[in-house]
């Protein structure tokens, strides 16, 4: 239990202590968020708010994990997945904020990076950790061997989770709060399944996100940017893959899944029929344009995430 407390204190403490110094530096460097014109009009007031605050989160998680968790192959791989996505997110933010190219990394470049991370994960996972090619189905409580299809499945989980958390990061505190809930759930899952090292990693993620809420809750003083959201999505994917609970991630990361599906549905509907299903996607904007305050959307989404996470634990 001491290792969990130590990880939580270091991760949250790092973010809380560095925030007051790091955020003004982002201001000085003019690393301000550029708000899309097609987004809600109320968000234009957020233009110029410092971004790339995810650097604090990921550094806090990494330091806490290295100090509090045993340096097992699983931990090294989990950190590799998270930090690999962190590099992708940092490059994306750097290009947008510093180079003033609004779209950041091209989709092909980002996908190539995620494929490389997934391939390394699968090689180490199967060769060194003995991860097989079965998929556990929670409701049926059975394993199905999907053979070589498992490698495509891992890539789908990794790309899906990282991009879904990235899409969720659209309101103050939404991504940091939902990730904290999902990571806390994975800390319990890891303990129940005998992965105490990964449980420390999950605890560090949750604590760092809670600490970040001090600066990211509405009205946000800093945004995590792709630097944080892609990395946190990668970290959640790592926990799902290394515990073989990829399917359970649909419940643990329910809000992330809804955010991603809303974008897919919106784009598919508009391209095929010329009509939009939602007022705006991702779905948190749909509720905003329906008259909900930003805080109400965030609170309701946090609550839904908590309920589905409890349901996921009950399935175990």
Residue 249 lies in a domain: no
Question: Does residue 227 lie in a domain region?
Answer: yes
Lowest model confidence (mean pLDDT) among 33-37, 86-90, 301-305: 33-37
Q: Is residue 107, in this structure, part of any structural domain at all? A: yes
What is the mean predicted confidence (pLDDT) over 5-33?
Answer: 89
CB of 296 closer than 8 Å to CB of 173: no
Give, in order, the Cα–Cα distances in Å from 55 to each of 17, 71, 200, 256: 13, 22, 20, 21
Question: pLDDT tens for residues 268-284?
Answer: 999 999 999 999 999 99
Q: Tell me the angle at which helices 174-192 and 225-242 cross, rounded to the nearest 10 degrees.
A: 20
What is the model's pLDDT at position 128? 83
Whether 83 is in a domain gets the answer yes
Q: Kindly tell me if the per-residue pLDDT of 34 is higher than 80.
A: no
131-183 confidence digits (pLDDT tens): 888 999 988 889 999 988 998 999 999 999 999 999 999 999 999 999 999 99
Weakest mean pLDDT among 20-34, 64-78, 143-157, 170-184: 20-34
Q: Does the annotation list 172 as a binding residue? A: no
Whether 109 is in a domain gets the answer yes
Query: Which structural domain, as residue segments, surrounds residue 60?
Result: 3-29+42-244
Q: Is residue 219 part of a domain?
A: yes
23, 216 contact by CB (below 8 A): no
What is the predicted pLDDT for the residue at 46?
A: 65
Structure tokens at 134: 């079965």
In a domain, 105, yes or no: yes
Q: What is the pLDDT of residue 238?
A: 97
- Banded pLDDT at 211 (limits 50, 70, 90): very high
Work out how many domains the chain is built from and give that number.
1
Question: Is the per-residue pLDDT at 35 higher than 60?
Answer: no
End-to-end CA, the chain = 22
Dihedral sign for Cα 105, 202, 186, 212, please.
negative
Do the annotations mark residue 163 as ligand-binding? no
Q: Is 306 part of a structural domain of the chain?
A: no
| pLDDT greater than 60 at residue 303 | yes
Between CA 136 and CA 145, with CA 141 as vertex, the angle to 5 degrees is 35
- CA dist., res. 274 & res. 41, Å (int): 23
């Amino acid at each position: 239990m001491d290792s969990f407390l130590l990880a939580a204190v270091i991760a949250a403490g790092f973010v809380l202590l560095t925030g007051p110094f790091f955020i003004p530096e982002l201001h000085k460097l003019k690393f301000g968020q550029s708000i899309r014109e097609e987004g809600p009009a109320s968000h234009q007031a957020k233009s110029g708010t410092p971004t790339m605050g995810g650097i604090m989160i990921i550094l806090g998680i990494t330091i806490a994990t290295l100090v509090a968790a045993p340096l097992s192959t699983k931990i090294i791989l989990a950190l590799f997945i998270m930090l690999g996505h962190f590099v992708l997110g940092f490059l994306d933010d750097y290009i947008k904020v510093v180079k003033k190219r609004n779209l950041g990394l091209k989709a092909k470049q980002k996908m190539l990076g995620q494929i490389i991370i997934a391939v390394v994960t699968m090689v180490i996972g199967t060769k060194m950790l003995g991860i097989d090619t079965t998929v556990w189905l929670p409701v049926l409580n059975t394993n199905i061997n999907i053979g070589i299809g498992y490698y495509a499945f891992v890539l789908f989980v990794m790309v899906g989770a990282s991009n879904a958390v990235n899409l969720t990061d659209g309101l103050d505190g939404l991504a940091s709060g939902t990730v904290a809930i999902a990571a806390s759930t994975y800390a319990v899952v890891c303990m129940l399944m005998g992965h105490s090292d990964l449980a420390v990693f999950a605890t560090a993620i949750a604590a760092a996100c809670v600490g970040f809420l001090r600066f990211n809750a509405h009205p946000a003083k800093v945004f995590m940017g792709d630097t944080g959201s892609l990395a946190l999505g990668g970290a959640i994917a790592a926990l799902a893959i290394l515990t073989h609970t990829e399917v359970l991630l649909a419940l643990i990361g329910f809000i992330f899944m809804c955010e991603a599906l809303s974008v897919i549905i919106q784009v598919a509907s508009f391209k095929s029929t010329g009509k939009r299903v939602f007022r705006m996607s991702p779905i948190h904007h749909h509720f905003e344009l329906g008259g909900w305050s930003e805080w109400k959307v965030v609170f309701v989404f946090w609550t839904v995430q908590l309920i589905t996470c409890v349901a996921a634990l009950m399935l175990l």
